Amino acid sequence: MKKQEIIQGLILQDLKHNQLIIGLGKMGLEGSEMHNLRILEMVSKLMKVPKALQEEWTNAYMLCMEESVNYQITNRGESLKHLAEVSFIKLKSIVEKRH
């Protein structure tokens, strides 16, 4: 498995997790602070985000996560696969600005 596939898989899982957390919030249950998987941090390390770009990159990552609520909830997150791919491309473009 390529590094890009691993990163996209992590993003996909975080998108799916985000759908769950937002759904819990809509039902009046708190989940965002208690159930943080810290995937953002893992993806950031794998993508070697420079400190100078960390804030911009994190904001872009969080915007991608917010988009997950606009997609149908499925067992394996199939509906989110394209969003994970697009998110990776956006995040990668931020990192590549530095080079």
d(CA 99, CA 97): 6
pLDDT along the chain (99 residues), means of 10: 95 93 80 75 97 96 94 90 97 86
Extents of the domains making up the chain: 3-96
pTM over 0.85: yes
Confidence at residue 24, expressed as pLDDT on a 0 to 100 scale: 79
Confidence at residue 87, expressed as pLDDT on a 0 to 100 scale: 97
d(CA 62, CA 17): 13
d(CA 28, CA 37): 20
Confidence at residue 29, expressed as pLDDT on a 0 to 100 scale: 76
